[in-house]
């Protein structure tokens, strides 16, 4: 049990996993199992609190959840049926035991877990100190524990206390709290950060993500902005921060995947499982979106055709891997629709005062649907009058909720921090949107759409084929484990693929990896080439746009002449490239625009295997978290 002094300094908790439970089972067991599912959100420290025997007991520990579990094995908490838990991703303030959540008030009757930033915490803290509260640290969360304690002592109702406290908070936050004087209640609050209710039979759950309670129930309620929820065994009551009852039925939904989808299913890592699931994920994302005549039926894209016909610019905003999907989408959208399209890092977008109006279609791509940079970009776009279409993998998350329309990718839950299947399905969704725009605007006629769609519907099988031939890639990766640098080159859609290959290697293998447009090589990066430097080159099909192909074959010769070890990803049967490839990775023939769907897969496998060979943690790389809910 810990509630010791914390080191001075501001401690913020912007992304993190939160679980709350009230019901008939051991709250500690349910909460710990939930935290295990949420560890992808952060794994710097973890903590739990349970209400038992008229009091509150808490434990917290720096490091992964396993450290907390070890601590609990040595010093078990009393058994209770109401509890909360937290797994943290630290920004400011080290990942210490003391900085771990939950945070308690002085008498130790209230426990709070928190995800987000309380921006006015310094003023609140000063105010509390004036009223005689002894705050032990400068953490923002501790302020909430003290405020709740104070308000509760006058109103005796935790939900009401939470509403009153939330009205005073500035910033983005999810809060979940328990009070020893209300042993059958868990209260949650939400502004900007995610919080979902799991509705069970005689038991209810709260979590940052449905994965935490999917083993118990698939009925969920997505909390809205500025709402407080009071959870009892048999009742869920949602109100606004001002106490107005909320129409929770509107946000209730059934989760269409089950617990086994969130398990490793026999693989050593979630990432390996998720790489292997890509053929199915791609097929599921196409499912039901193409009618018998080969036309697209994207009913979800609720932006009227009349509006889409008037669109004169498309802007794609996203981060990281999703941004690479957006870069590829630009080629498809411009090619199939002839509408100018720009793809921009969401974190840069709104700060340069972009030119947007009612004729701009903004596409926000996000696996989690919670990425703060992307959310802020879409809010800015909507303020300027643009229509926003989200491409998202997480049902009911903030980005789709705040968009005009959403096209869901059906990758299923992606647990490994490094994105794989979400990326392929984002590409599929982008192609569908591009073709749909072409269909609506008449730049791409039914039969043409039909022929691309036919090729798309064969892609799942081709991804499967790539997966079946990955052993040499794994061997190659292992042989490069002691290298420091790997470069990636591509042209056209192969350029974003090169960037994605480099990103995967950085985040998983912690190696210096950089992607370049192959044509840029001679403008500087070629100086990096030295003897035996591994350079991965993504080569487009020799068919069709052979100019592109020939140019990159020349680039390969240039780097090889300077000593590079060339690792070439090329279409099966591309004999022209073979003589210049020290290692040749063949992928099935596809149309140029669709090649990223097959060319990215070996790069995912390559990075995963190199990470393993270097002894790194594949699913939870250092310093990262799955949902980046801070700017
Ligand atoms: C890399 C990776 C990240 C995410 C990025 C955006 O493997 O996973 O770069 O792609 O943080 O996340 P979402 O798609 O959730 O908005």
Mean pLDDT of all residues belonging to the chain = 90
Nearest ligand 1 atom to the CA of 368 is 15
CATH of the domain at 224: 3.60.20.10
Q: CA 603 to CA 125: how far, in whole Å? A: 49
- For residues 363 and 447, the model is more confident at 363
364: β partners: 317, 390
User: Does residue 621 register a pLDDT over 90?
Assistant: no
Shared-domain flag, residues 576 and 533: yes
Is residue 629 included in any domain, yes or no?
no
Which residue puts its alpha carbon closest to atom 3 of ligand 1? 320
Shared-domain flag, residues 280 and 229: no
Shared-domain flag, residues 370 and 516: no
The predicted model gives 328-333 an average pLDDT of 97
User: Does residue 41 register a pLDDT over 80?
Assistant: no
Pairing of strands 227-232, 313-318: unpaired
Predicted pLDDT of residue 194: 82
Shared-domain flag, residues 68 and 99: yes
Predicted pLDDT of residue 86: 96
User: Does residue 166 register a pLDDT over 60?
Assistant: yes
Query: Measured in angstroms, how far is the CA atom of residue 318 from the centroid of ligand 1?
Result: 8
Q: CA 48 to CA 77: how far, in whole Å? A: 10
Most confident of 33-42, 62-71, 197-206, 455-464: 197-206
DSSP string computed for 522-541? GGTGGGG--TT-EEEEE---
Predicted pLDDT of residue 369: 93
Please count the other Cβ atoms lying within 10 Å of the Cβ belonging to residue 299. 9
Ligand 1 touching residue 367 (CB < 6 A): yes
Boundary (domain end) residue, out of 257, 288, 306: 257
Please count the other Cβ atoms lying within 10 Å of the Cβ belonging to residue 455. 15
Q: Minimum mean pLDDT among 131-135, 252-256, 366-370: which range?
A: 252-256
Predicted pLDDT of residue 13: 36
Predicted pLDDT of residue 492: 95
Which residue matches tokens 């995800």? 115
Radius of gyration of the chain (CA): 26
Ligand 1 touching residue 394 (CB < 6 A): no
- For residues 119 and 532, the model is more confident at 532
Shared-domain flag, residues 227 and 337: no
Is residue 289 included in any domain, yes or no?
yes
Nearest ligand 1 atom to the CA of 423 is 10
Q: Between 596-613 and 446-468, two packed helices, what is the crossing angle to 10 degrees?
A: 20
The predicted model gives 313-327 an average pLDDT of 98
The model's pLDDT over 304-313, given as tens digits with 9 standing for 90+, comes to: 999 999 999 9
Ligand 1 touching residue 371 (CB < 6 A): yes
Would you name the residues annotated as active-site residues? Answer: 16, 626
Query: Measured in angstroms, how far is the CA atom of residue 627 from the centroid of ligand 1?
Result: 7
Shared-domain flag, residues 41 and 170: yes
Query: Measured in angstroms, how far is the CA atom of residue 228 from the centroid of ligand 1?
Result: 29
- For residues 184 and 41, the model is more confident at 184
Please count the other Cβ atoms lying within 10 Å of the Cβ belonging to residue 419. 27
User: Does residue 14 register a pLDDT over 70?
Assistant: no
Which residue matches tokens 């035991």? 97
Q: What is the 3-state secondary structure of 295-331?
A: CECCCCCCCCHHHHHHCCEEEEEECHHHHHHHHHHHH
pLDDT band at 64 (very low <50, low <70, confident <90, very high): confident
The SS3 assignment for 206 reads strand
Which residue puts its alpha carbon closest to atom 7 of ligand 1? 418
Boundary (domain end) residue, out of 257, 287, 309: 257
CATH of the domain at 568: 3.40.50.10490
- Is pTM beyond 0.85? Reply is no
Task: Indicate the top mutation candidate among 319, 345, 426, 611 to test ligand 1's pocket, ranked by most ligand atoms within 8 A of CB.
Answer: 319
Query: Measured in angstroms, how far is the CA atom of residue 392 from the centroid of ligand 1?
Result: 11
The model's pLDDT over 210-219, given as tens digits with 9 standing for 90+, comes to: 889 999 999 9
Task: Indicate the top mutation candidate among 89, 209, 321, 510 to test ligand 1's pocket, ranked by most ligand atoms within 8 A of CB.
Answer: 321
Predicted pLDDT of residue 510: 95
The predicted model gives 87-96 an average pLDDT of 71
Which residue puts its alpha carbon closest to atom 10 of ligand 1? 321
Q: What is the 3-state secondary structure of 233-244?
A: CCEEEEEECCCC
Query: Domain tally for the chain?
Result: 3
pLDDT band at 446 (very low <50, low <70, confident <90, very high): low
CB 16 within 8 A of CB 89: yes
User: Does residue 45 register a pLDDT over 70?
Assistant: yes
Predicted pLDDT of residue 248: 54
Q: What is the 3-state secondary structure of 462-526?
A: HHHHHHHCCHHHHHHHHHCCCCCEEEEEECCCHHHHHHHHHHHHHHHHCCEEEEEEHHHHHHCHH
User: Does residue 279 register a pLDDT over 90?
Assistant: yes
Predicted pLDDT of residue 350: 86
Is residue 626 included in any domain, yes or no?
no
Predicted pLDDT of residue 8: 31
Predicted pLDDT of residue 301: 86
Query: Measured in angstroms, how far is the CA atom of residue 46 from the centroid of ligand 1?
Result: 23
Q: CA 435 to CA 447: how far, in whole Å? A: 12
The model's pLDDT over 239-274, given as tens digits with 9 standing for 90+, comes to: 999 999 987 545 788 887 777 777 776 788 899 999
Is residue 1 included in any domain, yes or no?
no
Which residue puts its alpha carbon closest to atom 11 of ligand 1? 320
Predicted pLDDT of residue 233: 97
Query: Measured in angstroms, how far is the CA atom of residue 42 from the centroid of ligand 1?
Result: 14
Shared-domain flag, residues 356 and 236: no
Shared-domain flag, residues 21 and 61: yes
The model's pLDDT over 375-403, given as tens digits with 9 standing for 90+, comes to: 999 999 999 999 999 999 988 789 999 99
Q: Minimum mean pLDDT among 230-234, 258-262, 509-513, 573-577: which range?
A: 258-262
Shared-domain flag, residues 436 and 488: no
Ligand 1 touching residue 82 (CB < 6 A): no
Stated as kind and residue range, the H or E segment containing 585 is strand 583-587
Query: Measured in angstroms, how far is the CA atom of residue 499 from the centroid of ligand 1?
Result: 13
Ligand 1 touching residue 321 (CB < 6 A): yes
Ligand 1 touching residue 419 (CB < 6 A): yes
Query: Measured in angstroms, how far is the CA atom of residue 314 from the centroid of ligand 1?
Result: 21
The model's pLDDT over 591-620, given as tens digits with 9 standing for 90+, comes to: 999 999 999 999 999 999 999 999 998 888
- For residues 419 and 194, the model is more confident at 419
Which residue matches tokens 């005549």? 293
Is residue 163 included in any domain, yes or no?
yes
Boundary (domain end) residue, out of 422, 457, 492: 457
Predicted pLDDT of residue 7: 31
Is residue 263 included in any domain, yes or no?
no
Token duo for residue 600: 């990215």
Q: Which among 258, 256, 120, 249 is positioned nearest to 191, based on CA atoms? A: 120
Is residue 618 included in any domain, yes or no?
no
Task: Indicate the top mutation candidate among 193, 274, 326, 367 to test ligand 1's pocket, ranked by most ligand atoms within 8 A of CB.
Answer: 367
Q: Which among 83, 90, 82, 84 is positioned nearest to 64, based on CA atoms? A: 90
Shared-domain flag, residues 391 and 511: no
Domain that holds residue 609: 467-613
For 523, residues 6+ apart whose C-beta sits below 8 A from its C-beta are: none
Shared-domain flag, residues 334 and 283: yes
Nearest ligand 1 atom to the CA of 367 is 14
Is residue 235 included in any domain, yes or no?
yes
Q: CA 254 to CA 396: how far, in whole Å? A: 11
pLDDT band at 172 (very low <50, low <70, confident <90, very high): confident
Q: CA 505 to CA 533: how far, in whole Å? A: 15
Integer distance in angstroms from the first to the last C-alpha of the chain? 33
List strands edge to edge, sheet with 45-52: 55-62, 45-52, 82-89, 15-22, 204-207, 196-199, 219-222, 252-254
User: Does residue 50 register a pLDDT over 80?
Assistant: yes
Shared-domain flag, residues 276 and 398: yes
């Amino acid at each position: 049990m810990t509630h010791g002094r914390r080191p001075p300094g501001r401690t913020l908790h912007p992304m993190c996993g939160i679980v709350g439970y009230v019901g008939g089972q051991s709250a500690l067991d349910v909460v710990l199992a939930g935290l295990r599912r949420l560890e992808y959100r952060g794994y710097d420290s973890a903590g739990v609190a349970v209400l038992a025997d008229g009091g509150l007991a808490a434990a917290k520990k720096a490091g992964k959840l396993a450290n907390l579990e070890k601590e609990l094995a040595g010093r078990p908490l009393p058994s209770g049926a109401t509890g909360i838990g937290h797994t943290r991703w630290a920004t400011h303030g080290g990942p210490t035991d003391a900085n771990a959540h939950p945070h308690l008030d002085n008498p130790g009757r209230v426990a709070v877990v928190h995800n987000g930033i309380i921006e006015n915490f310094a003023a609140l803290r000063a105010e509390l100190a004036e009223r005689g509260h002894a705050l032990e640290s400068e953490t923002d969360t501790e302020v909430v524990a003290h405020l709740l304690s104070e308000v509760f002592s006058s109103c005796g109702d935790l939900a009401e206390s939470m509403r009153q406290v939330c009205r005073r908070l500035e910033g983005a936050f999810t809060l979940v709290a328990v009070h020893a004087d209300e042993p059958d209640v868990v209260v949650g609050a939400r502004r900007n950060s995610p919080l979902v209710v799991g509705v069970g039979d005689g038991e209810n759950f709260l979590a940052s993500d449905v994965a935490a309670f999917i083993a118990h129930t698939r009925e969920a309620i997505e909390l809205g902005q500025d709402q407080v929820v009071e959870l009892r065994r048999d009742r869920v009551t949602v109100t606004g921060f001002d106490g107005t009852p909320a129409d929770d039925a509107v946000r209730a939904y059934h989760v269409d995947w089950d617990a086994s989808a969130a398990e490793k299913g026999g693989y050593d890592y979630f990432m390996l499982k998720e790489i292997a699931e890509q053929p199915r994920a791609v097929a599921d994302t196409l499912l039901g979106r193409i009618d018998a005549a080969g036309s697209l039926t994207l009913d979800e894209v609720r932006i009227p055709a009349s509006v889409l016909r008037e669109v004169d610019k498309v802007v794609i905003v996203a981060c990281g891997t999703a941004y690479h999907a957006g870069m590829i989408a630009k080629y498809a959208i411009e090619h199939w629709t002839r509408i100018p399209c720009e793809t921009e890092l969401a974190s840069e977008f709104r700060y340069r005062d972009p030119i947007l109006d009612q004729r701009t279609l903004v596409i926000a791509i996000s696996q989690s649907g919670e990425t703060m940079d992307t959310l802020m970009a879409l809010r800015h776009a909507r303020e300027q009058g643009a229509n926003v279409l989200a491409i998202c993998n997480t049902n009911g998350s903030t980005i789709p909720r705040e968009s005009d329309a959403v096209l869901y990718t059906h990758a299923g839950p992606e647990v490994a921090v490094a994105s794989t299947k979400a990326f392929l399905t984002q590409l599929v969704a982008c192609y569908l949107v591009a073709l749909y725009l072409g269909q609506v605007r008449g730049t791409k006629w039914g039969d043409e759409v039909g022929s691309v769609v036919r090729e798309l519907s064969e892609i799942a099988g081709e991804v499967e084929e790539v997966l079946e031939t990955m052993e040499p890639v794994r061997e190659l990766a292992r042989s490069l484990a002691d290298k420091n640098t790997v470069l990636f080159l591509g042209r056209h859609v192969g350029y974003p693929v090169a960037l994605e290959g480099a990103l995967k290697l950085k985040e998983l293998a912690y190696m210096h990896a950089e992607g370049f447009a192959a044509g840029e090589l001679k403008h500087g990066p070629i100086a990096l080439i030295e003897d035996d430097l591994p350079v991965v080159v993504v080569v487009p099909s020799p068919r069709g746009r052979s100019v592109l192909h020939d140019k990159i074959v020349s680039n390969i010769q240039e780097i090889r002449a300077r000593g590079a070890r060339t690792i070439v990803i090329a279409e099966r049967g591309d004999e022209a490239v073979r003589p210049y490839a020290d290692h040749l990775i063949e992928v099935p023939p596809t149309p140029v625009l669709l090649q990223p769907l097959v060319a990215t897969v070996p790069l995912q496998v390559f990075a995963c295997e190199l990470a393993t060979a270097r002894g790194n943690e594949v699913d939870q790389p250092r310093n990262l978290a799955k949902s980046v809910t801070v700017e």
